[in-house]
């Protein structure tokens, strides 16, 4: 049985023991030892090396540090930004990490002497929310992660869908605007350039530059310049009811809602989950995104709408999801290991 054929969550009796989850980001590597219930019992965070050739070694170092003092660690799951091959071993391309065709699994496996599985970070986060968070109780879920990038994970009938080439769920790079904004992937008009957390910040800066007086309250939270404006400033001002900040959220919500509608029209999930940095803003982004989703989804007179939620596992979703996928991988591929 392959991992993509695995349905649901086995009992803790089947999967007793600990696994390590790793969330590989452009600036940090977060690793945690995770128990079968999804609790992170130890964690470590280190900077992501600027040299791509040192990243796998840094991951191995983080794994070794986080497993110290814990017996029975059985496998490692790594959630990595970018395109991960169908064998769940190699990051084929990750523009934000500056790497291509790096066999992370083999390097980490050799260093730790543990089974290792590599998964796309958005898939890992989606699985974490499906098992332990906002998707619990549903069989069909779509999660979007709106942070530095814009990724997604698809759960159908209790299974994580990866596709024959491992590329399912790469929703950030479908072309939303023909000949639109350039994307680091080499294309133009990718949805990532409009619905991500980075796009949200860029949008705020552009609007502030166009009308500094309108943005005065938000600019005052930073260094007073549009270039010094960050997402946290917009969130803080929006929570105070600032019109400019709420306008930025409304515009970002329209793009996010459009993306949800596009995807829901194809996949028809029962729940839509918003994660990443934008998801962390809660109702500020959920409300306008849901309104836009309902307006954009065709057939509203005769079809049901999916529930729109924000992630509940939060920033640990990728780490916890990767650890759980490693648990399933270890159970399926190495059933006698450690017994």
pLDDT tens profile 269-287 = 999 999 999 999 999 999 9
Condensed to tens digits (0 to 9), the pLDDT of residues 29-72 reads: 999 999 999 999 999 999 988 887 888 899 999 999 999 989 88
Q: Domain for residue 72, yes or no?
A: yes
Please check whether residues 220 and 245 belong to one and the same domain: yes
Find the mean pLDDT for residues 69-87: 84
Q: Domain for residue 308, yes or no?
A: yes
pLDDT band, residue 86 (cuts 50/70/90): low
Q: For residue 197, what is the enclosing H or E element?
A: helix 197-210
| CATH, residue 56 | 3.30.420.40
Find the mean pLDDT for residues 161-177: 89
Q: Domain for residue 240, yes or no?
A: yes
Full-prediction pTM beyond 0.95?
A: no
Please check whether residues 180 and 77 belong to one and the same domain: no
pLDDT band, residue 4 (cuts 50/70/90): very low
pLDDT band, residue 337 (cuts 50/70/90): very low
pLDDT at residue 99 in the model: 54
- Other Cβ atoms less than 10 A from the Cβ of 157: the count is 9
Q: Domain for residue 133, yes or no?
A: no
Please check whether residues 274 and 323 belong to one and the same domain: no
Residue 5 vs residues 156, 157, 160, 269, 332: alpha-carbon distances, Å: 11, 10, 8, 19, 10
Please check whether residues 32 and 117 belong to one and the same domain: yes
Residue with tokens 């934008």: 278
Q: Tell me the pairing of strands 141-146 and 159-160.
A: unpaired
Question: How many angstroms separate the CA atoms of 48 and 56, rounded?
Answer: 10
Structure tokens at 43: 């964690």
Please check whether residues 123 and 270 belong to one and the same domain: no
Q: Domain for residue 132, yes or no?
A: no
Structure tokens at 85: 């091959």
Please check whether residues 304 and 327 belong to one and the same domain: no
Is 87 or 318 the better-scoring residue by pLDDT? 318
Question: How many angstroms separate the CA atoms of 10 and 59, rounded?
Answer: 27
In the three-class reduction of DSSP (H, G, I as helix; E, B as strand; rest coil), residue 246 is classed as: helix
Find the mean pLDDT for residues 158-170: 88
In the three-class reduction of DSSP (H, G, I as helix; E, B as strand; rest coil), residue 204 is classed as: helix
pLDDT at residue 311 in the model: 96
Q: Domain for residue 338, yes or no?
A: no
Question: How many angstroms separate the CA atoms of 9 and 321, rounded?
Answer: 12
Count of the separate structural domains present in the chain: 2
Is 182 or 314 the better-scoring residue by pLDDT? 182
Residue 305 has pLDDT above 70, yes or no: yes
In the three-class reduction of DSSP (H, G, I as helix; E, B as strand; rest coil), residue 152 is classed as: strand
pLDDT at residue 1 in the model: 32
Is 9 or 287 the better-scoring residue by pLDDT? 287
Highest mean pLDDT among 51-65, 210-224, 314-328: 210-224
Please check whether residues 187 and 144 belong to one and the same domain: yes
Residue 26 gets which letter from DSSP? S
Please check whether residues 284 and 157 belong to one and the same domain: yes
Please check whether residues 93 and 194 belong to one and the same domain: no
Condensed to tens digits (0 to 9), the pLDDT of residues 246-256 reads: 999 999 999 99
pLDDT at residue 12 in the model: 41
pLDDT at residue 96 in the model: 55
Residues 6+ apart with CB under 8 A from 224: none
Q: Domain for residue 16, yes or no?
A: yes
pLDDT at residue 336 in the model: 40
Condensed to tens digits (0 to 9), the pLDDT of residues 97-121 reads: 555 556 788 889 999 999 999 998 8
Please check whether residues 320 and 260 belong to one and the same domain: no
Q: Are 58 and 304 in contact (CB under 8 A)?
A: no
Domain that holds residue 324: 3-127+316-333
Residues 6+ apart with CB under 8 A from 242: 217, 218
Residue 183 vs residues 85, 180, 189, 213: alpha-carbon distances, Å: 21, 9, 7, 31
Q: Are 159 and 6 in contact (CB under 8 A)?
A: yes
Please check whether residues 247 and 196 belong to one and the same domain: yes
Q: Domain for residue 211, yes or no?
A: yes
Residue 49 gets which letter from DSSP? P
pLDDT at residue 53 in the model: 82
Please check whether residues 291 and 329 belong to one and the same domain: no
């Amino acid at each position: 049985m392959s991992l993509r054929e695995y349905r649901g969550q086995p009992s803790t009796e089947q999967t007793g023991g600990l696994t390590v989850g790793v969330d590989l980001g452009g600036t940090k590597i977060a690793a945690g030892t995770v128990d079968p219930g999804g609790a992170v019992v130890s964690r470590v965070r280190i900077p992501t090396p600027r040299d791509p050739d040192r990243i796998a070694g840094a991951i191995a170092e983080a794994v070794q540090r986080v497993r110290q003092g814990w017996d029975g660690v059985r496998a490692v799951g790594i959630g990595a930004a970018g395109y991960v091959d169908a064998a769940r071993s190699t990051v084929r391309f990750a523009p934000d990490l500056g790497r291509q065709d790096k066999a992370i699994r083999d390097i980490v496996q050799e260093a730790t002497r543990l089974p290792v599985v590599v998964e796309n970070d958005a898939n890992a986060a989606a699985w974490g929310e499906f098992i332990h968070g906002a998707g619990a109780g549903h069989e069909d879920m779509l999660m979007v992660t709106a942070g530095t990038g814009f990724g997604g994970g698809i759960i159908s009938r209790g299974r994580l869908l990866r596709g024959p080439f491992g590329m399912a769920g790469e929703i950030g790079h479908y072309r939303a605007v023909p000949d639109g904004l350039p994307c680091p992937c080499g294309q133009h008009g990718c949805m990532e350039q409009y619905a991500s957390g980075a796009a949200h910040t860029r949008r705020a800066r552009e609007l502030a530059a166009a009308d500094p007086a309108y943005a005065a309250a938000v600019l005052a939270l930073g260094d007073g310049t549009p270039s010094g404006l960050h997402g946290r400033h917009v969130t803080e001002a929006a929570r105070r009811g600032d019109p400019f900040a709420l306008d930025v959220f409304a515009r970002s919500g329209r793009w996010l809602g459009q993306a949800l509608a596009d995807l829901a029209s194809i996949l028809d999930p029962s729940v839509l989950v918003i994660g990443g940095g934008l998801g962390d803003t809660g109702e500020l982004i959920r409300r306008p995104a849901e309104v836009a989703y309902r307006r954009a989804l065709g057939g509203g007179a005769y079809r049901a709408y999916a529930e729109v939620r924000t992630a509940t596992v939060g920033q640990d979703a990728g780490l916890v999801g990767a650890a759980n996928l490693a648990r399933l991988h270890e159970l399926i591929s190495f059933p006698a290991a450690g017994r």
